[in-house]
Structure 1
Amino acid sequence: MKKKLIKVHPSDNVAVALENLKEGETIDFDGEEIKILVDTKAKHKIALEGFDTESRIIMYGVLVGKANRKILKGEVLTINNVNHQSEKVIKKTATIGWESPNIEKWKNKTFLGYHREDGQVGTANVWLFFPLVFCENRNVEILKDVFEKELLNQKSNKHRLLLRSLIHGEEFNEKETESQRILDNVEVKFITHQAGCGGIRQDAESLAKLLAGYVNNPNVAGCTVLSLGCQNLQIQIFKDALEQINPNIKKPILIYEQQKMGTVDKMLEVIIKESFDAIKEANKIQRKPALLSKLKIGLECGGSDGFSGISANPVLGHVSDLLVALKGTAVLSEFPELCGVEQELVNRCVEEDKANKFLDLMKAFEKSVVDAGSGFDMNPSPGNIKDGLITDAMKSAGAAKKAGTSPIVDVLDYGEYIAKSGLNLLCTPGNDVESTTAMAGSGANIILFTTGLGTPTGNPVVPVIKVSSNTQLAEKMPDIIDFDAGSIIKGNSTIEEMGENLMELIVEVASGKIRTKAMQLHQNDFIPWRRGVSL
């Protein structure tokens, strides 16, 4: 008989509806009958016992909320009868052991990557253009137009051609949009942003660290940097940030300051000539085999639903555990979405000072949110709530499943670069693009992104693999989904089986044999986190 409810953890007092349930139907669950009291949509939670006001709601084995009124057994949990609640954590209380997964299949497996002089290995080979300040965005956009049209032999955008055909009454021919790359072993990408000046000096320094991290990322072969000259983020600040991350960096870095070069035309001519010469050299770099220990995988979720924490996120958790066992690296970010699971994460920290750093960063982050008149309890988006994630702690408990069960070897503040293999925590906002932007800046060379609702985003230097929590989404939005974990919900696959399958896809993407949907759609999103105010 097909299961209609699932309890994630033995101590949970709620269950997740695996399909739409009708008022009045009775379900045999764990040896007792649950009568559904109201129509309940799939992904939402059903009370497995009666709750009084202030009763603790337990899911994933942790406190995720409290009842704000009497809730009957079989009733659906909503934002109207449950409030956010999580356990308060003040220190590390234990050390959690870890049983690593079987890696016999993977220990000698390799991917084809770009080997850098500092020992890092890239999954892509990117020449990156970016400004130190928003004043140079227009010049970067001009360079983007020039290089993309010429290096890609880019023809008209298909939507522009569609409109042109409608205007002139002609037949639309999509083949006219096909492009052919001139250089086949290097990608040229462009970043723009709205920062670098006008804010507090700390924001300029933070942006410098982020951009330096992008330059040091193993997927980047070299870069062209545009500066105006008078901005807060001075060239020397950027150079100092790069020196701090990698004092012996050997990559070509071309820097141009407009206020020293005269006219825009003169500057652009110099940039185009010198950058093209450097890009041709980068194109000579070839892929070579590398062990999977050279992978640094960012773990991200966005547009989550009530299935994310029981399908897609645990699949990423299994991949994370496999990679850590192989001496590779995994990175979990989005600190607002770790609210409620701090104790487990603190106890998984190998070193007490890392546990304390995590707690200090969480407390400082939450204080800044409260000072702004909000709180972590307001983190779930309308889409999250509509699909069953009704409290921040409930969302967080599911989000944390992306990190598996391995020990935490390091805790990084925003802008800090990965220094240790193993599982790392990285302080970022819960905003999807701000988080993925930060993970690439900390050195991730692949990003796994789970979604239950559909989130169209990518990164300019790191391949982003989209993992769907449910099959309906994968079928509805096949243009953005790379991997469907929905068969877990149907009971057709296990988390471990899906994790192994996802690892196979990761190797193919890391080797350049498969381009992710985000890459095919040219989704190159970049949003720095501005922690300060504008002055």
Structure 2
Amino acid sequence: MTSTTPIILNPADTIAILPAGAKAGDDPLGLGAPLKGNVFAGHKIARKDHKKGEEVIKFGEVIGRATQDINAGEHVHSHNLAFSDHGQDYQIGCDLEKATAAIPSMEGREFMGFRRKNGEVGTRNYIALLATVNCSATVIRHASQEILASGVLDQYENVDGVVGLAHSTGCGMSGTKSIEVLERTLWGYATHPNVGATIFVGLGCEVMQIGRMKDRFDADKQQNLEHFHSLAIQEVGGTRKTIDAIKAKVLELLPEVNKAYREPCSASKLKIALQCGGSDGFSGITANPALGKTADMLAGLGASAILSETPEIYGAEQLLLRRAASKEVGDKLVSQIKWWEHYVEVNEGSLDNNPSPGNKAGGLTTILEKSLGATAKSGSTPLTAVFDYAEKIDKPGFVYMDTPGYDPACAAGQIAGGAHMIVFTTGRGSAIGSKPSPTIKVATNDHLFESMPDDMDINCGDVLSKGISLEDKGAEILDYIIEVASGKKTKSELLGLGEYEFVPWQIGAVM
């Protein structure tokens, strides 16, 4: 049972978190200031008086300013706390020595993976059907469904399935950046180590041309193009003929793809994406810092841990910059932050449009507060590299990739970069899945784990209810990652999730 004792995360904090909530008339801090109304679990109360305009501190950092006077013991949330400018006097690399010392000494680990001819290692073995444009979405969906319904895949024990990846763009695109991002995403999926063969399917006249993409990414002809195949609806002769042609090509490829088999592989080959969604007031207390311990262990193994969601680290980027491995690494992250500030400004938005209504119901008030909790997933080791969206991840340790906070678009970039799986923390609950790289979902609290048992893989609620240490929970998550890498099915895989969640980031204007 979760303790009712208020949680103080840092001695400098001016608020405390109520792990079990409180009722009107309760005085959780013993300040002689009874609550005027009920306060939900995960929400905050003031440890001291705050004058209007005064900074409110959580995690030892500013999460906003009081919009009115707040008395000690009072509920602190959207009615009296708001987003404020945060300091951007960045000190790149000032904590690098401390971060380097945080890399744990780890004994080597192995998982049972698929060795590829190019030296990479996969954790799954799929045939991918990739749409170049929304016009080919239907033929891909129908072909994928008809292949599954036929039962033919049962004959090939080393093939995890055929995954149909359709999207809503590929034409009517404006600007070089938006085209490059889609090309990088599609190429990243096509060459992913979890994919044994790829069939690109287009209409034929779209902006997103397969030949140009191959020329751009394979100018030196280093890729084995026998791995790739392509069809165009206009050339094949229409919708039904294309569906049948896709199915025939899959049947031709299955025996060859099935020749791959699992064998012992070093865990240093793993690239693990870190995400959160449907966050609550417990995310930054249980699941995210526990996953941060896992990220540190991955760095100790020589593997990669990939943090993303730039709008959701906003306000906490200084925590990452302080442990940047070089000025170049830090400067690239700063440039991405500045790009996002401009991006939301020209689109008449705000980076404080997050947290979502669900986040706020769970106790999170401002993007600064949410970001500080979200960055806990990154652990404590050096930031070794910063990547653009869908850019190939080629550095070990803790790395960063620029993506939106929108979960499926973030996942698409991380997978295109080579992530073998996504570890996704959630407090409100999420039904996301991903293919060809599976999603492991981690609950921040006992209630969620018990109420969504078919979706949640790991429970971090016991960090509070049973006193499990963050280190032990981080080790538990790592063990689960190794099991999934070796073939264990996640809850999202058992439910068949992952195809409809493929959402490449669409940046430019639609013309």
TM-score, scaled to structure 1:
0.90
Is contact 1:299-1:331 (8 Å) kept?
yes
Residues 364/90 of structure 1: CA separation in 2 closer, same or farther (3 Å cut): farther
User: Is the contact between residue 4 and residue 21 of structure 2 (CA under 8 Å) also seen in structure 1?
Assistant: no
1:318 to 260, 274, 293: 293
Partner of 1:76: 75
3-state DSSP of counterpart to 2:328: helix
Is 1:242 matched up with 2:217? yes
Counterpart of 2:432 in structure 1: which amino acid?
A: T
Distance in 2 (CA, whole Å) between partners of 1:82 and 1:389 is: 11
Q: Distance in 1 between matches of 2:49 and 2:88?
A: 28
Cα-to-partner distance string for 1:400-443 (whole Å, 9 max, x where unaligned): 10101111111111121101111111111111111111111111
Letter in structure 2 aligned against 1:26: D
Partner of 1:178: none
Unpaired runs of at least 5, structure 2:
none
TM-superposition CA deviations, 1:120-161 (whole Å, max 9, x none): 2111111100110111112112211221112467xxxxxxxx
Cα deviations across residues 355-377 of structure 1 (Å, max 9, x unaligned)? 11111111111211122111011
Give matches, 1:90-109, under 5 Å: 90-96=89-95, 97-98=98-99, 99-100=101-102, 102-104=104-106, 107-109=107-109
8 Å Cα contact 1:205/1:237 also seen in 2 = no
The equivalent residue for 1:520 is 494
Give the aligned partner of residue 9 of structure 1: 10
Letter in 2 for 1:123: T
Summarize deviations over 1:320-366 as a string: whole Å, max 9, x none.
Answer: 00001111001000000111112121111111111111111111112
Equivalent residue, structure 1, for 2:19: 18
CA shift for structure 1 position 86:
4.4
Contact 1:304 1:451 survives alignment (8 Å): yes
Q: Relative to 1, partners in 2 of residues 1:26 and 1:483: Cα closer, same or farther, differing over 3 Å?
A: same
Deviation readout 1:208-234 (Å, 9 max, x if unpaired): 110101112211111111121111001
Question: Cα offset for 1:108?
Answer: 2.7
Counterpart of 1:191 in structure 2: which amino acid? L
Q: What is the rounded CA distance, in whole Å, between the counterparts of 1:439 and 1:307 in structure 2?
A: 25
Q: Contact 2:186–2:416 (CA<8 Å) still a contact in 1? A: yes
The answer on whether the counterparts of 2:390 and 2:412 sit within 8 Å (CA) in structure 1 is: no
Three-state SS of the structure 1 residue aligned to 2:75 is coil
Contact 2:274 2:422 in 1 (8 A): yes
3-state DSSP of counterpart to 1:218: coil
Structure 1 segment 310-349 matched on structure 2, within 5 A: 310-349=285-324
1:35 Cα deviation from its structure 2 partner: 5.0
Which whole-Å CA distance do the structure 2 matches of 1:251 and 1:460 have between them? 22
- Size of the aligned set, in residue pairs, is 503
Q: CA distance change for structure 1 residues 5 and 506 in 2, over 3 Å: closer, same or farther? A: same
Q: Which runs of structure 2 are paired with 1:131-280 in the superposition (5 Å)?
A: 131-151=131-151, 181-186=154-159, 187-202=161-176, 203-243=178-218, 247-249=222-224, 252-280=227-255
1:303 and 1:453 in contact (8 A); partners too: yes
Q: For residue 411 of structure 1, what is the aligned residue in structure 2?
A: 386
Query: Which residue does 1:39 correspond to in 2?
Result: 38
- Whole-Å separation in 2 of the counterparts to 1:249 and 1:88: 48
Of 341-350 and 189-198, more deviation after overlay is shown by 341-350
In structure 2, the partner of 1:359 is 334
Work out whether residues 6 and 29 of structure 2, in 8 Å CA contact, stay in contact via their aligned partners in 1: no
How has the CA–CA distance of structure 1 residues 80 and 240 changed in structure 2, closer, same or farther, with 3 Å as cutoff? Answer: farther
Secondary structure of 1:348's counterpart equals coil
CA deviation vs aligned residue, 1:172-210 (integer Å, no higher than 9, x gap): xxxxxxxxx232211211111111001214323211110
Mapped pair 1:122 → 2:122: yes
Cα separation, 2, equivalents of 1:246 and 1:473 = 49
**Residue-by-residue CA offset, 1:258-284 (whole Å, 9 max, x unaligned):** 323334444444433232221221111
Deviates more, 1:363-372 or 1:85-94: 85-94
Percent pairwise identity: 32
Quote the Cα distance in structure 2 between the aligned partners of 1:241 and 1:507. Answer: 35
Deviates more, 1:258-267 or 1:114-123: 258-267
| Of 95-104 and 311-320, the range deviating more from structure 2 | 95-104
Q: Kindly tell me: are residues 38 and 145 of structure 1, through their superposed partners in 2, closer, same or farther at Cα, counting changes over 3 Å?
A: closer
More displaced, 80-89 or 466-475?
Answer: 80-89
Measure how far apart 1:100 and its partner are: 2.9
Q: Is the 8 A contact 1:100 1:325 kept in 2?
A: no
Deviations 1:37-67 (A, max 9, x none): 5421110011111000111011112111000
Q: CA deviation at 1:386?
A: 0.7
Contact 2:103 2:381 in 1 (8 A): no
C-alpha distance 378-28 of structure 1, shift in aligned 2 (>3 A): closer
Q: Is the 8 A contact 1:332 1:426 kept in 2?
A: yes
State the partner residue of 1:533.
Answer: 509
Is the CA contact 1:296–1:444 (under 8 Å) kept in the aligned structure 2? yes
Q: Offset of 1:245 from its aligned partner? A: 11
Partners of 2:127 and 2:196 within 8 A in 1 = yes
- Determine if contact 1:213/1:242 at 8 Å carries over to the other structure: no
Could you tell me how far apart the structure 1 residues matched to 2:314 and 2:299 are? 24
Q: Which amino acid in the other structure matches residue 527 of structure 1?
A: V
Q: Is the 8 A contact 2:200 2:210 kept in 1?
A: no
Cα 1:457–1:44, aligned 2, differ >3 Å: closer, same or farther?
same
Q: Distance in 2 between matches of 1:224 and 1:492?
A: 49
SS in 2 for 1:409: strand
Check if 1:474 corresponds to 2:433: no
Cα distance in 2 for partners of 1:303, 1:207 equals 26
Residue 88 of structure 1 aligns to a residue whose secondary structure is coil
| CA separation of 1:86 and 1:479: change in aligned 2, threshold 3 A | farther
